[in-house]
Structures are given as C-alpha cells and as structure tokens.
C-alpha cells in the first residue's frame, strides 16, 4: 500500500517537474494557433515590414515595422542608459562598498525590482514626462526618450544583481595575484575582474534588455503610443507590447485585428526566447 502511494507521489512529482516545459510549449502553441491565422490574409513580409499600422481602417493595414522600430528605439535608449550605470553599480556593490552599505544598497535594488511597473509608469507620467517636455521644449513629453529613461530603471535591478553575482564568482586568487603584482584596486577591477566576469556580465545585460523589450505598462503610459515610423527619440512612439495591451481590449475575437495582435505576440515570444536562451548559454559558459 505504502509503495503504491509513493509510486503515485513520485510520478506526480515528475509530472510537475515537466510542467515548465509543458507550459512554455502550451504558450507557444496557443500564440501560433491564434496568430498564424493572420497569414492566410496578410503576407509575412507585409506584416513584418509594412510601414503602416492602421488596424481598424478599411481595408486594415497591418504592418508592424513602426512598432518593431519603436520597441528597438526605446530599448536601445534604455540600454545606453542602464548598461553603464547598472554595471558600474554592480562593481561598486561587489568591490568597493563596505559590508553595511552593501546590504543597504542591495535592499534598495530589491525595492526597485519590487515596484510594480504600473506604479513606475504613473510616477513617470507625473514627474519625468513634464521634465522632458520642459527641458527639450516639446509639444508633449510622452516620447521615446521618457520611455527609455523609465525602462532603464526597470532593467537595472536585473543587470545589477546578475552582474554582481558574476563578479562575486571570480576566484579570490585572481584578485590576490593582481594585488601581489602591485596593481592598484582599480587596475585589478579593470584588467582582471571585469574580463573574468565578462560572460556573466554579458548575460546580465541581455536579461536586462529582455526585461525592457517585454515591459508593457510603463511603456504604454509614457511613450505616447503613436504608431508611426519613429525618426527621433524626442517623438512619441509605440512599442510591440503597448500595441497588444492597448488594442486587444477592443479587438473582436476572431477578427483580423485579433489575429494580428497574436502575431505580434509570436514576435515578442521569439525575441524573448532567443534572448533568454543566449543569456543562459553565457551564464553556463561562466561556470
């Protein structure tokens, strides 16, 4: 009797162990199921490289190039801001800060990671957006730049914590060796520790960027949501994620618009999948 019970429990455990694989596949299947229906009426190239996104005009124009470029522009801006600051902060925490400061700083970073994105979006709307508007004398502060700055903040906890782990995992002997040769602390960080931790830091940067591309609410609230081909960082843009979030509520289930939004979901899923798998490879290379 006990054996049967344990047999069942162990099978259940195995089943749950496989649940993650099951869910990843399930997500992909359901995105494909709804998204691929679009390509019966719209060509893949027209969808990916079409320059006009007018989903509710007659006939609908469903080109997501402006949305892809919007996402890329905002992400690029966020990366430029968050990578140096994030890696710098990780270095400070891992190498320079005294133990008590270190605990305090780590708590601060955890705090930032915990703030819901809609709260950051709200704060961005009431503080950052007016600043951007006034500083650059723009008609509106809802721009790609505002989105980039806010998203940079959301990427930082990821970048800092993973980069910091990578820096910690550099063997102590490397550092001691460099000191013994007469290197200063900074020379050691710069020439020995950073290169040794580089694959982990790269993974940190990639996961931070993954977080940025997938971020939805804050971006929707502060980038202005204009689905046009972006030509300046001081203009409103619309990202892939914001398009889904803003339009799915109005799209009729089973309509071309509904399928198109799922197709956008497929694009996002593939991007995040590629980023996560690559980052994981870098992390394992480190070990």
Partner 1 sequence: MRAEKTQKIAFFFLLLSTLLIVIPVGLIVVIIVQKGIPAINWQFLTDIPRQGMRSGGIFPAILGTIYLVSGAIIFALPIGLLAAIYLSEYARDNLLTRIIKLAIVNLAGVPSVVYGLFGLALFVVFFKFGASILSGSLTLGIMILPIIITASREALESVPYSFREVSLSLGASKWQTIRNIVLPNAIPGILTGTILGLGRAAGETAPILFTVAAFYLPRLPQSISDQVMALPYHLYVISTQVPNVAEKVRYGTALVLLVLVLFMNLVAIIIRYQFRKKKKW
Segment near partner 1 (CB under 8 A), from 14-22, 37-45, 52-60, 165-173?
A: 14-22
Q: How far is the CB of 280 from partner 1 (least distance, A)?
A: 5
Binding to partner 1 by CB under 8 A, coded x per residue (else -) over 28-57, reads --xx-xx-----------------------
The nearer residue to partner 1, 72 or 123, going by C-beta atoms, is 123
Q: Whole-number minimum distance, CB 108 to partner 1, in Å?
A: 5
CA–CA gap between residue 64 and residue 47 (Å, rounded):
6
What residues numbered 227-246 form the site for partner 1, per CB under 8 A?
241, 244-245
Q: Of 98-137, which residues contact partner 1 (CB under 8 A)?
A: 105, 107-112, 114-123, 125-127
Query: Which is nearer to partner 1, 99 or 249 (by Cβ)?
Result: 249
Provide the CA 120 distance to its chain's centre, in angstroms. 15
Confirm or reject binding of residue 96 to partner 1 (CB under 8 A): yes
Residue 23 or residue 136: which is nearer to partner 1 going by CB?
23
Query: Among residues 141, 115, 168, which one has the least CA distance to residue 222?
Result: 141
Which residues, numbered 156-195, are part of the site for partner 1 (CB under 8 A)? 156, 160, 184-187, 189-190
The verdict on 14 binding partner 1 (CB under 8 A) reads yes
268 binds partner 1 (CB under 8 A): yes
Smallest distance from partner 1 to CB 77, Å: 16
Strand partners, 189: none
Minimum gap (Å) between residue 232 Cβ and partner 1: 23
């Amino acid at each position: 009797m006990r054996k049967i019970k344990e047999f069942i429990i162990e099978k259940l455990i195995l089943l749950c162990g496989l649940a993650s694989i099951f869910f990843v596949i399930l997500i992909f299947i359901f995105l494909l199921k709804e998204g691929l229906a679009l390509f019966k009426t719209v060509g893949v190239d027209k969808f990916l490289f079409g320059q006009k996104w007018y989903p509710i005009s007659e006939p609908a124009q469903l080109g997501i190039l402006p949305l892809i470029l919007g996402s890329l522009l905002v992400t690029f801006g966020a990366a430029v801001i968050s990578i140096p600051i994030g890696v710098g902060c990780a270095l400070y925490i891992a190498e320079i800060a005294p133990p008590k400061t270190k605990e305090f700083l780590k708590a601060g970073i955890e705090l930032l990671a915990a703030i819901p994105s809609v709260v950051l979006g709200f704060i961005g709307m009431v503080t950052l957006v007016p600043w951007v508007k006034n500083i650059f004398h723009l008609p509106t502060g809802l721009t790609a730049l505002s989105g980039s700055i806010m998203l940079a903040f959301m990427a930082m906890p990821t970048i800092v914590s993973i980069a910091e782990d990578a820096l910690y995992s550099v063997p102590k002997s490397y550092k001691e060796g460099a000191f013994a040769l007469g290197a200063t602390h900074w020379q050691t960080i710069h020439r020995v520790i950073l290169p040794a931790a580089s694959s982990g830091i790269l993974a940190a940067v990639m996961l931070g960027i993954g977080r940025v591309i997938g971020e939805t609410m804050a971006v929707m609230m502060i980038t202005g949501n204009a689905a046009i081909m972006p030509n300046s960082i001081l203009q409103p843009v619309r990202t892939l994620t914001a398009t889904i979030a803003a339009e799915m509520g109005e799209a009729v289930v089973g309509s071309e618009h509904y399928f198109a939004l799922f197709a956008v979901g497929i694009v996002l899923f593939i991007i995040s999948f590629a980023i996560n798998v690559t980052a994981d490879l870098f992390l394992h290379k480190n070990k």
